[in-house]
């Protein structure tokens, strides 16, 4: 299970780097800071999954959750959302080193 969590963390980190690179290229081209919101990035990649997730959340989950949390999350920069997801997945899959050390019997 740790392997899958670390792999998902790596994928999220790669997505964050790609989103950050795209934002930096657009910022240099526009001579202004450009940060793509998560909803716009998701819309560019797969609009069908975004609409299906929005309809599922608004139907199965309380409308307040959809109104506050999901819409707030979709307004955040895509690279930051993916970085937070990567960090959370890595923290869940982290293996603590043994307390006694590596040379104990």
The answer as to whether 105 is a domain residue is no
Domain count, the chain: 2
Six token digits for residue 32: 């202004």
The answer as to whether 71 is a domain residue is yes
Question: What's the CA gap between 98 and 105, in Å, rounded?
Answer: 12
Same domain, 30 and 81: yes
The answer as to whether 99 is a domain residue is no
Nearest 5 degrees, angle CA 55-CA 59-CA 62?
A: 120
Residues 6+ apart with CB under 8 A from 22: 36
Indicate if the pLDDT at residue 10 is higher than 70: yes
The answer as to whether 98 is a domain residue is no
Q: Which domain holds residue 27?
A: 1-34+77-93
Same domain, 55 and 70: yes
The answer as to whether 47 is a domain residue is yes
Tens of pLDDT, residue by residue over 59-68, are 888 777 777 8
Strand, helix or coil for residue 76: coil
Question: What's the CA gap between 93 and 86, in Å, rounded?
Answer: 11
What pTM was estimated for this model as a whole?
0.80
């Amino acid at each position: 299970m740790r392997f899958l969590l670390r792999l998902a963390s790596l994928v999220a980190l790669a997505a964050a780097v790609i989103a950050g690179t795209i934002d930096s290229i657009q910022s240099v081209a526009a001579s202004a800071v450009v940060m793509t919101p998560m909803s716009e990035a998701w819309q560019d990649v797969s609009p069908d999954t975004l609409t299906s997730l929005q309809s599922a959340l608004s139907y199965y989950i309380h409308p307040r959750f959809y109104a506050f949390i999901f819409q707030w999350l979709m307004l955040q920069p895509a690279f930051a959302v993916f970085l937070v997801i990567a960090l959370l997945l890595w923290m869940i899959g982290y293996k603590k080193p043994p307390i006694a050390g590596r040379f104990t019997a």
